[in-house]
Structure 1
Amino acid sequence: MGLALLLVVWLITFVSTYFFIAHPSWMWLPPVATTYGPQIDSQFTYTYIAMGIVFVAAQVALGLFAWKYRDRGHAAAYYSHGNIRLEAVWTILTAILFVGLNLMGQHIWAQARFQGPSPGSEQVEITGMQFQWYFRYPGSDGKYGRTLAKLEDPSTGNALGIDPDDPAAKDDIVSSTLVLPVNRELDVTLKALDVIHDFFVPEFRFKQDAVPGLLIHMHFTPNRIGDYEIDCAELCGSGHYKMRAGVKVVSEADYQAFLKAPQQWLTEHPWNGPMSRGLMQESEAKPPAPALQLAMRHHQSQAENH
């Protein structure tokens, strides 16, 4: 019986390890679309290799022990009451492994989180709200307009509560699709209005919580034109499953055209990612937030009429 267990454990270990290594996309991640993404992938590789060695060694030992300490009939059983030296060794080795992996990845995290963006980087504010993502651009003045909680009302197209009386808000743009220029660094501000959300784009290797009351600054540079999907990776309520949005990485010319006429450009260049049909069906029940420029024009026309 012990030999059978050894063979079964080793066979499962060999087969699972083989398929893991032999699979052409063994990391099961989509093609990377940011400049720092390859560093994230390298960190995954180091982690997989280290933990793979530990996994194989542990399973080999498990099979050996199943055979060595198999039932031998009437032979006296051997009991171990622990080995302080052995326990200290594997605890220290485990600590070295985890601390080492964290130190290897720390500089990658620091580049995106703690080191400031380059001067002239493009600004975008990302806000999570049950169950919708909103993306705001500061416009030509480079300043975001003031926001007030009492003005937050998605039904009027002002889910972010932007104050129309603030001069800095006159050229702000709010969109339900994130449009980004390729090969330009982005200064991202993440926030949430109700509960914790998580902004996740697998191709960007970017995943960060958006926390109510906090302004979280990150920066990255997309380097591949295409349409990608944004998911909320934090359980945020009953509608969590549908909290998705699209991100378009476009050329500089297309990006400038989007800034000049957001709604028209998005109508002519709709998001066409892998889940675009599902997002379009959901948007029929909940219209996307319009560009704030249009809301401002409506506000101004009402003021003129009065």
Structure 2
Amino acid sequence: MAIAIVLVLLLLGSILFHFLSPWQLTPLASNWGSIDDTIDITLWVTGFVFVAVNLFMAWAIVRYRYRSDRRAEYEPENKTLEWWLMGVTTVGIAALLAPGLFVWGRYVTVPDEAHEVEIVGQQWHWGFRFPGKDGAFGRVDTRLLSGENPFGMDAADPAGLDDVLIHGSRVLLPVDRPVKALLRSRDVLHNFQVVQFRAKMDLVPGQLSYLWLTPTRTGEFEILCAELCGIGHFAMRGMVEVVEPAAFEQWLAAQPTYASILARPEPDAAKGRTLYAPCAACHGTEGQGNAQMNAPRLAGQDAWYLIRQLAYFKSGVRGAHADDTHGQQMRAFASMLVDRAAMADLAAYIETFPVPPPVISVDGNPQRGARVWRNCAACHGNEGQGIQATQAPRLAGIDDWYLQRQLDNFRRGIRGRHPDDAYGWQMTEMAKLVRGEDATRDLIAHINMLALAASRPADGATELAHRSD
């Protein structure tokens, strides 16, 4: 009897939790209300079965409880009961499957008036491509993928010259206009999902999948990867902003085309030397850095990362936080660079600097830090060399005091919280994995070991590696 009472109480508690819970579906922001209806039907069918089975179990426990004055009867077959069970089960399964099949039929049937956008997933960020005025996408090839060509564009195809390329995790869509999203993966299995749109689909390497939807209200909605795609899966986020059609067209016209990217002039280190003159006062004549001036070493850093950070400082993505006093200083200097070409020239000149040996000022246990480094190596490389494909900069050789300050800034939200800093979002999450000052110093000590190994001859590096083990 006690077990039957417990079953009934658990049943009542489950029902009350469902109806009184504050956790409900997010507000719908697309045309896919039919998916919500299908979910509701599924809940009602499975809920009815859940209630019926638990009440039957409670009734059976009471009705057929042990009594000393009677024996259990063995009945191997009951065709009447079996037909009832088959009939009820068939109706229940049909009620579960039929609505979904009708909705799926609509889900894969794209309206003729839908415009297109290609969504490219990669560990661990998103990219977007729109067709140009010709309305056709240019040809792409995985063999052409590189840091400079993240979409794998084929320069020999004229149809791709007017394609609009957005190498970032933020995209705009017009409200009340159907859109077909072509989904492509550069590496592993991903899944594009915007919860408010009720639309999701896998990105499978080697094939092109798709989904379609009509955004029905303006606002910002987070993009998630709903497929476990690696260590940075939880930080693979993006943003869809739904705006009025006029605002969308204005934004799209301001984005770079493939032709404009190809037309960028080659960086001129000679021009960059002139532009570097104001930087030398803090960062040193050869980018060696100056801890007294809170200016980190620049020598040895990759040009693509320097360009991105200069653009971030200039636009206010970085250095706008009230507590980022050193970043605020950099904003003033970055504003002196008139355009991206000037940033590229400056970065090209910095790349000519000799790389001095690292200066160690942070104590820690590199062996313990090596365990923490496993998470970082997935993006920054096993040797801390940086990987452009994952948009992760070089860390080996960067001033250890600067690394310590930036990790603290990420953890405190001083850096990486701007909505346009997609890679900063990832770092704010990853920095939380380094818990406490001791773990931070240990991690930086291991990065210092990587820098020392890289700065020594091959034999010395091998010896150092053995000592680290």
Distance 1:282 1:22, change over 3 A: closer
CA distance in structure 1 between the partners assigned to 2:100 and 2:53 by the alignment: 25
| Partner residue, 1:290 | none
| Alignment pair present for 1:167 and 2:161 | no
Give the alignment partner of residue 245 of structure 1, picking from 221, 228, 238. Answer: 238
Q: Secondary structure at the match of 1:108?
A: helix
| Alignment pair present for 1:150 and 2:143 | yes
Higher relative strand content: 1
Q: What's the offset of the Cα at 1:87?
A: 3.6
> Is the CA contact (8 Å cut-off) linking 1:139 and 1:259 kept in structure 2?
no
**Which runs of structure 2 are paired with 1:42-53 in the superposition (5 Å)?**
42-53=37-48
CA distance in structure 1 between the partners assigned to 2:426 and 2:229 by the alignment: 19
| Partner residue, 2:209 | 216
Greater shift in the superposed pair: 96-105 or 195-204: 96-105
| Partner residue, 1:188 | 181
CA distance in structure 2 between the partners assigned to 1:275 and 1:214 by the alignment: 34
| Partner residue, 2:9 | 11
| Partner residue, 1:281 | 424
| Partner residue, 1:291 | none
What TM-score do the two structures reach when normalised by structure 1? 0.79
* Aligned residues: CA RMSD: 2.8
Distance 1:254 1:18, change over 3 A: same
| Partner residue, 1:138 | 131
| Partner residue, 1:100 | 95
- Return 5+ residue gaps in structure 2 as ranges: 257-310, 318-416, 429-469
> Is the CA contact (8 Å cut-off) linking 1:133 and 1:245 kept in structure 2?
yes
> Is the CA contact (8 Å cut-off) linking 1:185 and 1:221 kept in structure 2?
yes
Runs in 1 of length 4+ with deviation above 6 angstroms?
none
Q: What's the offset of the Cα at 1:39?
A: 1.2
CA distance in structure 2 between the partners assigned to 1:48 and 1:284 by the alignment: 38
- Return 5+ residue gaps in structure 1 as ranges: 286-306
Deviations 1:190-247 (A, max 9, x none): 2223222111111000011122222223221001101111111112222222222111
> Is the CA contact (8 Å cut-off) linking 2:140 and 2:153 kept in structure 1?
yes
RCO comparison, higher one (Cα < 8 Å, 6+): 1
Alignment length (residue pairs) = 271
| Partner residue, 2:281 | none
Deviations 1:51-107 (A, max 9, x none): 111111111111111212223357534455454543443244223322332222222
Q: Secondary structure at the match of 1:46?
A: helix
Give aligned-pair identity as a percent.
34
Larger Rg belongs to: 2
CA distance in structure 1 between the partners assigned to 2:4 and 2:421 by the alignment: 48
The amino acid across from 1:101 in the alignment is L
Deviations 1:255-302 (A, max 9, x none): 0111111379xx699xxxx995995524669xxxxxxxxxxxxxxxxx
> Is the CA contact (8 Å cut-off) linking 1:178 and 1:247 kept in structure 2?
yes
Deviations 1:36-56 (A, max 9, x none): x22111111111111111111
What TM-score do the two structures reach when normalised by structure 2? 0.53
